[in-house]
Structure 1
Amino acid sequence: MTYQRDLAFALRLRGVAEKDVADIVAEVDAHAQEGIVLEEFFGAPDEYAARFPEGPKRLRDAAWWTKVSAVVAVVWIVAVTVVAALGVDLPVRFGVIALWPALGLMVLGMVVDIVWAHRRPV
């Protein structure tokens, strides 16, 4: 992992706008091309990213996997509830197990978002 990629990831986690991320990384690239050791000059990527103001507290566009998985999980929970309300005999142990896929979808969505944000191009 390069310093620039780690910096971009840290900035995105802070909610910094993509244009600002690109500008900051371009500045770091310019210093890197001059032969400067980035870690010594700027500090650790997380520390350098912390110098910039956080973005607005809202769901960012990168979190669409989490949003989609949350909707699918809610639909799953509603479907299980409706099936039980219609009188379909679900054993108690199956009722609890039936909710595991919803939890799995939520976790999967969050993991995909984190990996996606980390692997996005700088």
Structure 2
Amino acid sequence: MSYEQELTFQLRLRGRSEDEIAETIRELRAHGVDAAALRDEFGSPAEYADGFEKRPPKSLGSTITAAGTIVAVAWIVVCIAVAAIRRFALGIEDDGDGLPSFLLPVAFGFVMVGLAGGYLIDRLRRPKSAAAD
């Protein structure tokens, strides 16, 4: 992975906006040196990004992660509500507790897809302004 991609990811983890990330990448490109020279001059991308103030993340990846978690919680609430309605309102008796056996695996799947998707989006996506350069 290139120095710019790694730095972009590290800056996203620190809550930098896409415009701030693009400006930082433009400043790096202005030095006109290759990735090895950038590493020698500025240190690793994580070390360079440590110089920036850390903010709460507002990246697309954090939004996707939050959405996956919200969908998982909603899935659990809906399954419990359906089980309660079936048992108490409709009088349908099930063997066991009335909850589907796939309740937790599906909820876990939603969370994992949100986490993996959020991580990969932040890791692989280039800054908006720098993508056109």
Instruction: Please report the TM-score for the alignment, with normalisation by the length of structure 2.
Output: 0.77
Residues 121 and 90 (structure 1), Cα distance of their counterparts in 2 relative to 1, 3 Å cut: farther
The more displaced of 63-72 and 5-14 is 63-72
Q: Deviation of residue 53 (structure 1)?
A: 0.9
Kindly indicate whether the alpha-carbon contact (under 8 Å) linking 1:4 and 1:29 is maintained by their aligned counterparts in 2. Answer: no
Deviations 1:54-96 (A, max 9, x none): 12x3x51412222332232122111211222131525359656
Percent identity, aligned pairs only, is 32
Matched residue count:
119
Decide which structure has the larger Cα Rg and report it: 2
Alignment gaps of 5+ in structure 2: 128-133
Is 1:70 the counterpart of 2:75 in the alignment? no
Alignment gaps of 5+ in structure 1: none
Q: Deviation of residue 97 (structure 1)?
A: 4.0
Q: In 1, Cα distance between the equivalents of 2:47 and 2:28?
A: 14
Task: State the partner residue of 1:60.
Answer: 58
The CA RMSD over aligned residues, in Å, is 2.2
Counterparts in 2 of 1:93-104, with a 5 A limit?
95=100, 97-104=102-109
Kindly indicate whether the alpha-carbon contact (under 8 Å) linking 2:10 and 2:49 is maintained by their aligned counterparts in 1. Answer: yes
Is 1:10 the counterpart of 2:10 in the alignment? yes
Kindly indicate whether the alpha-carbon contact (under 8 Å) linking 1:39 and 1:45 is maintained by their aligned counterparts in 2. Answer: yes
Which runs of at least 4 in structure 1 moved beyond 6 Å after TM superposition?
none
Is 1:112 the counterpart of 2:117 in the alignment? yes
The more displaced of 45-54 and 74-83 is 74-83
Kindly indicate whether the alpha-carbon contact (under 8 Å) linking 2:83 and 2:98 is maintained by their aligned counterparts in 1. Answer: no
Task: State the AA in 2 paired with 1:70.
Answer: T
Instruction: Please report the TM-score for the alignment, with normalisation by the length of structure 1.
Output: 0.83
